[in-house]
Structure 1
Amino acid sequence: MTMPVMEPSLDADMLRTWATGIDDGPFSSLCWGERIAFDNPECLTLLGALSVWTQRVQLVTTVVVPQLHDPVMLAKSLATGDMLCGGRLTVGLGVGGRHEDYHAVGADPSTQTMRGLAERAEILRRVWAGEKITESVLPVGPPPARRGGPELHIGSTGPKTIRSAAAWADGVTGVTLDLDLDRQSELFDVARTAWADAGARRPHLATSFWFALGDGDGPRAQIHRHLRRYMNWIPAEFVDAMAPTTGWAGTDAELVEVLRRFAAIGTDEVHLIPTSSDPDQLRRAAEVAAEFA
């Protein structure tokens, strides 16, 4: 389950309610993403809070954009989070889809490439291995809770990108806009083959989609409102055109069947993305997830 960090009017109480609800429920992972030029919580600060608010669930960034950070400080922050949560951190990395986030922090948009991402992933690994990046008395710490650091997953939906990440990533954390299971199965096959060719162990295979639970037209309207707000860098008429077929809207029983179809193609995890901060959506999703516990 993804935290509703892209919803409006969030406060600490609401975030804590969702975090503890996810931790108490049958979910395997708690996820959250990063944006800069938006009013969502800063992702690494939130990692510290989530480490305290939860005890059981895996914490998964979906995704952090390393090009927006100094890579050594990012390694230190993530290692601190991994230490605080007792080794429950998985780090999803991606290049990001918005130039405005790069400009907001003074990052170079020319680094918005898979090569730039891979270079920074290597620095994370080196810091977590205790290697001295520069001349210093001690290496950059703290050491992460897990030897070698958290798992790194590539946030991508492109075959070329997935293939290139097999050299450094432990898995895939993608997104499907239209829930096309044939395409998703093909991407998973690409990942399995690429990891095998790289001599790596089988990758963790995850995808995600926006959801809204309910009856009638309300859930689809909820997704539309969310997309209008979240996709504010895209012309509104384009968002309106894609909204009827983006994400998933329907009843609890229908969501169970959708998730069973994803399981049938070998999906290890589906990261549900809420389109409302209403805790009732979390409660209903937990009842659905219980079918797979």
Structure 2
Amino acid sequence: MNVGLGLPVGDPDALPEWARRAEDGPFSTLGLVDRLVYDNPEPLVTLAALAGATSRIRVMTEVLIAPMRPTALMAKELATLDRLSGGRLTVGIGVGAREDDFLAMGAEHRRRGRRLDEQMAALRRVWAGRPYGEGIGPIGPAPSRPGGPEVLFGGFVQATAERVARWGDGLMASTLPPEEMDRLFRMVEESWERAGRPGRPRLVAQANAALGPEAVLDEARRAAGGYYAFLDSGETRVEGMLTSREAIRGAVRAFCDVGADELMLYCWSADPAQVDRIAAALP
């Protein structure tokens, strides 16, 4: 099972160092959250910079809030990032939960699920090199991979599993314990089989993590608490943060046992030395 790092957003200036350290270590992917009404760097711009600072490690949106974005422009941006990264882009994509992000964009929050389905049809059409619509020609550049970059849907419900089966390459699910992730993974696999898709979906889990002195752990808990404050389960997600070598090793084994292809360890403290600490903690 691969292990990637979800990047902290509190200090954007430190992210190139995170990326370089991660590339020198055992990590497979760098992930970055997408929010608008929040103090985080814009993910596509940032991941483009990090892709330029690295040569091996993959970059991933975790997850891109597609329904608040203009579809044609998003298709072009993602194909461009895929090309500039040499095909190292994974598009984690989802409907988004926070209404304020949609209000700031002037986008409709209520029908975001239906809009995402419409957008996926358009993205696949653009990435296949077909005209965008009636009277509208193709939108380039072509992505590195025929048909477009890898797409993982974020979510926890049956509708997410159906989207994976219809439009995606796999699932990304965050901050669920392994036993609940097991149920979700099996639901996605069943939808994939019913749709007659060949092979199997990629299954990616995410867990919050922080390693270091108490000041690092306190910073991570505050940052994660602020991010999850709108959820009723926010405190539970902070309490479940992995803060020791033993906890990280146990999580890696447990998610591997339920069939995860990759575990993203999402870091909330800006201290880049965590990259080396987490690398040393991996089994």
TM-score, normalised via structure 2 length: 0.91
Please report how far the alpha carbon of residue 189 of structure 1 lies from its aligned counterpart in structure 2 after TM superposition.
0.8
Of residues 184, 202, 223 in structure 2, which corresponds to 1:226?
223
Mapped pair 1:131 → 2:124:
no
**Residue of structure 2 equivalent to 1:242:** 236
**Residue of structure 1 equivalent to 2:8:** 4
Whole-angstrom CA distance in 2 between matches of 1:48 and 1:169: 22
**Preserved contact between residue 4 and residue 277 of structure 1 (Cα < 8 Å):** yes
Please report how far the alpha carbon of residue 137 of structure 1 lies from its aligned counterpart in structure 2 after TM superposition.
7.8
TM-score, normalised via structure 1 length: 0.88
Matches within 5 A, 1:1-293: 1-5=5-9, 7=10, 10-12=11-13, 14-113=14-113, 115-134=114-133, 138-177=137-176, 179=177, 181-200=178-197, 201-214=199-212, 221-233=218-230, 239=234, 241-242=235-236, 245-249=239-243, 251-289=244-282, 291=283
Secondary structure of the corresponding residue to residue 45 of structure 2: helix
Whole-angstrom CA distance in 2 between matches of 1:244 and 1:72: 37
Secondary structure of the corresponding residue to residue 30 of structure 1: strand
Q: Deviations over 1:218-271 (max 9, x none)?
A: 676444312332234458xx74x536633322x213311221111111111111
Q: Deviations over 1:84-115 (max 9, x none)?
A: 011111101111110000001111112322x2
Secondary structure of the corresponding residue to residue 109 of structure 1: coil
Secondary structure of the corresponding residue to residue 35 of structure 1: coil
Whole-angstrom CA distance in 2 between matches of 1:86 and 1:243: 35
Whole-angstrom CA distance in 1 between matches of 2:212 and 2:125: 47
Q: Percent identity?
A: 36
**Letter of the aligned partner of 1:228 in structure 2?**
G
**CA RMSD after TM alignment:** 2.1
Whole-angstrom CA distance in 2 between matches of 1:166 and 1:24: 35
Please report how far the alpha carbon of residue 196 of structure 1 lies from its aligned counterpart in structure 2 after TM superposition.
1.1
Whole-angstrom CA distance in 2 between matches of 1:158 and 1:137: 35
**Preserved contact between residue 47 and residue 60 of structure 2 (Cα < 8 Å):** no
Secondary structure of the corresponding residue to residue 227 of structure 1: helix
**Preserved contact between residue 19 and residue 30 of structure 2 (Cα < 8 Å):** yes
Whole-angstrom CA distance in 2 between matches of 1:253 and 1:242: 20
Q: How many residues are aligned here?
A: 278
